[in-house]
A and B are shown apart, each in its own frame.
Chain A
Amino acid sequence: MARVASRTLIWLVGLLLLVGLLQAPEGAHAQAGKAVSAKKLELIRDRMERGQALFVAGDFAGAAKVFESGHAEQPYAAFLFNAGVCYQKLGQVDPALQKFRDYLAADPNAPDAAKVRGRIAALEATKGTPPPVVDAGADDGGEQDGGDAGADAAPPPPPPALGVDNAESMKSLALIETDPPGAAIKLYARSTESAPPFKLGGQNPGWQEVTKAQSPANLTLEVGSYHVVVEPYLDFKACDAAVEVKRAKVFHFRANLSQGEFMSFLRVAGNVIGAYVFIDDDRRARPPWGITPHGELVSSGKHTLLVEAPGFEPYYQKLDLGRGEQKELEVKLVRVGHGYVRVDGNAPELKVSIDEKPAGVWRSGEAPLAVKADAGKHKLTITSSGYKTYEEVVTVPAGQVLPLHADMVKKYPRGAAWTQAVIGAVFVGAGVFFGIQSDNLHEELENDRKAGVLDEDDERVKRGRLFAIGANAGYAIGGILGAFATYNFIKDPLPESSAVKGKPVEFNDPRKQRPTARLRAPSRVALPEPRTRRQQQFTLGLTPGLQGFSIGGRF
């Protein structure tokens, strides 16, 4: 029986060991069971870097929340450690202790597990409470409490002093994958500054193995130089890659075991979010590789990068990525040198001119008229029959569209002015006529006087006097009416035509155009170029009308 029991115990121990062997990596790297998508990876990276930024800025509470949210998105242990540091900085010992304990629970084989235990002890010491009974792994017990629980009550060693955390205290995250998965991974850290470069299969003095795991795995690493080695697996040979860990970063490694090398990781970000990234596809024959910011594993070697976005000049760059290289590019896209003014208005028809040159006609019911112009200041003139002309110098944004809604104001009616002008002109004309007649008569009378034949009773004297009075009356009435007409021509109580300029918007993105039923006009502009090669689309419109809303469609 004892032998049977002994054999049974051996089997059980062996089974437990086997299970332990199989489970250990899972237990140590609980979230490394499957590969992370690029989108997820970008989200993780965002949390990690944003938390780091808040930490550096002194917003420890905000940083803690961001790290916690990152952990909620993807339960990588690095988030827990960083959150714990934040709480520690806040003086919130309990949450800090909880995060560090969770960290150790999530990744008991973390390369820095011993240091974390020391930190926990130091924190607990600050609370005046004895360190709890160690229930963690055997390696923990050796470092932390120095003996078994049942040992003699020798006085425990004093807890390590708490160091001062700074930005360098933030941990980074390394995601290591293999294809196929399941390969054993070893991580070496440079222990001495003068250590020569790591050589696969070599002695590698100055390098120390800090952890091992099974792919896929996530490792929480502090700043430093590392080397990751994938052990021979199945029929594949070993391969390795250097890792230079910076603070609070996310690194993504994938080893293509069939090719015997690590893939490179390329991340493209820049000043434009949403720019399209093409790798080795200058002709854009394939869908974009990604949309900025975007990071993804790519094969090592030479590549051509194309980044473009509507309203920006295309950006080209040639890359030569080393094995396992983590390349981050900050691409600064430059706006194109032209822009558009998108014009519509409240008049039935608008004639638009840019710098005195006709630029097009917009009619009510049509899509706004997009007028292309070089970026900068331009004289915009909008005319409409019966409306006051709108004229203004507008600044056409580079690579963007300036929405402009013309609020045209009808011309003030000039009927009264014209009537007064015409009647006034008639009176002035009559005055001129009478004046001429008067002048003629006066001249005749003068001549007769000089000839000595003028008599005092000449009826032309009376007639000429009446003509003169009539002329003056005509001038006076005409002048008064003319003054009224002038006033009524100048008088204009109505405001001038104006325009409401919206905030510049981006160019239309043809990659995002899809036939869709909309309730409102699209916010993006149908630019002339796309319009010319526009395919027939069916759009369903819901438009307000006098009797309510109507639904219609058009091709």
Chain B
Amino acid sequence: MAAVLGPRGLSPLIVGALVAACSWTRFDDVSEDAPVLLLEKPDGVGSGFGSSVALAVAGGNHRLFVGAAPGNNGGAEFELGGGQGASKDAARGGHCDEGCTLAKTAAAMPKATLEGQPRTLCFAEGWGAGGIQVQCEAGEAAFLSSLAAPAGVQVDEPGKQLSIVAQRPKRGAPNQPVGELSPVVAAGATSLANGPGAAWFYPAGSQQPTALDAGTVGPTYGAALTVFEAKGQLFIAVGEPGASRVHVFDDTGALARCLSSSAAGFGRTLGSGPVTADDASDELLVATDAEVHVIAGATFEGAASPACQEVAPIVALKCRSTGDLDGCGGSEFGAALAVADLDQNGDGEVLVGAPGMDVREESGAGAVFVFDVAKEHPDWVLETRFISSAESGDRLGTALAVVPQDDRDIFVAGAPGNGKAAVFYCSKLLPSSKRGARCN
């Protein structure tokens, strides 16, 4: 090369090389306050960390529970705070350890009255000796209690899977639980041995279960639940995906509606929240094997109608491939559903987990789709979320939890395949002036 350049031609080369030198500190800059925070799995937590997530906000705390795989034990709490300075290290461990098996989903109770005492930052996380195990904060220690199961329901039998949900806090008052003391908690247990499933709930402030009787149901009854509001009335929806039905009960436990669909798996995952401009009612989100139907809250107004009938959704959300995402066919689109106001416009965006999605050729890395049903094109994918360090089998989107911040919502997605839970702070839907350090 020097022959081409000549001896004196080397100097420009050297100067050019020095000019082109790289700064390695720029990587510190780019990774500092990254928009995605991966939570550290603490020791003692079983495999499948990130299978369930639930957030309780009370007393200025934003406490996130992250559990291991259903049927396994072990979980941890993380303090996310109200801003963007979350800690990736667990604030508390020891959830659902000895004698406890974790549920498919966990329920957060910012406040609860348990055993006659008010408790805060409680999580109904699994099945223990006395029923559903609830662990609350009690200073340095933890307060454990349980919610008894209805008679005849034995969740710890092999093949049964427990799902627990709770009434979500109202928007604008994250620290205020619904009801006087504690939210409504609903639970469902499926039976894979072809026995019928079961569903029940605990009225606010009660540790006594009330059965949710939908008549003749199949073994998938209780596979998914959600608690939502419509015109000021509380409803509990229980999915029976094997029959493509969703049973909706009122706050007394009476069957109010039965929604059916020709789509397979209708009701395999349920969610709810205000996703339209209708502030009076939440919308019900029902996942089928391939879509997510958004059903208007107005559907549940009026007199009860127990007979099952098909209801046209506002929109059917579908999986979409993007430059980074592929593999909708096996994406398990709708494995987790949540509603969060990411753009701080007052209505929520629909978050749909797709843990089987391929991310940048990483098979099954998983992703979360964001839809804004209130927009002109409600079925458009507004943005997708995944973790940049996605690995095959992460299964991000298996679980979703919304984290209300001071001015907007962020969300947490579990990726239990490789034991991860990621906090997504940023959304391009949010105005740039409100994005903060992590999102600029």
Contact = CB atoms under 8 A, between A and B. Distances in A.
B38 interface: yes
A247 interface: no
B417 interface: no
Contacts of A372: none
Interface residues of B, number: 40
A465 B11 CA distance: 27
Contacts of B91: none
B387 A453 contact: yes
B2 A452 contact: no
B23 interface: yes
A411 to B, nearest CB: 12
Contacts of A476: 21
Given A421-B1, A468-B24, A428 B388 contact: no
B27 A454 contact: no
Given A461-B27, A468-B24, A475-B21, A453 B2 contact: no
A462 B385 CA distance: 22
B389 interface: yes
A445 B10 contact: no
A246 interface: no
Nearest to A487: B7
B117 to A, nearest CB: 39
Contacts of A471: 20-22
A438 interface: yes
A494 B306 CA distance: 107
A449 B24 contact: no
A486 B11 contact: yes
Interface in B397-440: 422, 424-428, 439
B358 to A, nearest CB: 15
A486 B7 contact: yes
A180 to B, nearest CB: 88
Given A421-B10, A445-B31, A479-B14, A454 B23 contact: no
Contact of B18 (A417, A451, A462, A479): A479
B1 A438 contact: no
B34 interface: yes
B389 A482 contact: no
Residue among A432, A434, A464, A476 with the most chain B CB within 10 A?
Answer: A464
Contacts of A529: none
Nearest to A466: B24
A449 B34 CA distance: 7
A442 B31 CA distance: 10
Contacts of A482: 10-11, 13-14, 17
Contacts of A455: 34, 36-38, 387-389, 422
Nearest to B17: A475
A456 B34 contact: yes
B361 to A, nearest CB: 14
A449 B35 contact: yes
B22 A438 contact: yes
Contacts of B13: 425, 428, 482
A388 to B, nearest CB: 14
Contact of B35 (A422, A438, A454, A475): A454
Q: Which residue among A421, A452, A462 has the maximum number of chain B CB atoms within 10 Å of its CB? A: A452
Contacts of A452: 35-36, 383, 385, 424-428, 439
Contact of A461 (B21, B31, B385, B386): B31
A467 B37 CA distance: 24
A461 B30 contact: yes
Contacts of B387: 453, 455, 458
Nearest to A426: B1
B17 A478 contact: yes
A357 B335 CA distance: 87
A231 interface: no
B388 A445 contact: yes
Contacts of B386: 453
Contacts of B14: 478-479, 482-483, 486
Interface in B5-19: 7-8, 10-11, 13-14, 17-18
B23 A468 contact: yes
Given A431-B17, A486-B8, A457 B389 contact: yes
Contacts of B32: 456
A92 to B, nearest CB: 79
Interface hub of B30, B386, B389 (most chain A Cβ within 10 A): B30
Interface in A456-509: 456-462, 464-469, 471-472, 475-476, 478-479, 482-483, 485-486, 489-490
A488 to B, nearest CB: 9
A456 B36 contact: yes
Contacts of B11: 482, 486
Given A428-B17, A442-B26, A460 B389 contact: yes
A472 B422 CA distance: 34
Contacts of A330: none
Nearest to A456: B34
Nearest to B88: A456
Contacts of B88: 456
Nearest to A425: B1
B21 A472 contact: yes
B135 to A, nearest CB: 28
**Most interface-central of A434, A449, A467 (chain B CB within 10 A):** A449
B370 to A, nearest CB: 10
Contacts of A479: 14, 17-18
Top 6 closest A-B pairs, CB basis?
A: A489-B7, A452-B426, A468-B24, A468-B22, A455-B36, A421-B2
28 contacts: A417-B7, A418-B2, A421-B10, A422-B1, A428-B17, A431-B21, A432-B20, A442-B27, A442-B30, A445-B27, A449-B35, A452-B428, A452-B439, A453-B386, A453-B387, A454-B36, A455-B36, A455-B37, A471-B20, A471-B21, A472-B21, A475-B18, A475-B21, A476-B21, A479-B18, A486-B7, A486-B8, A486-B10
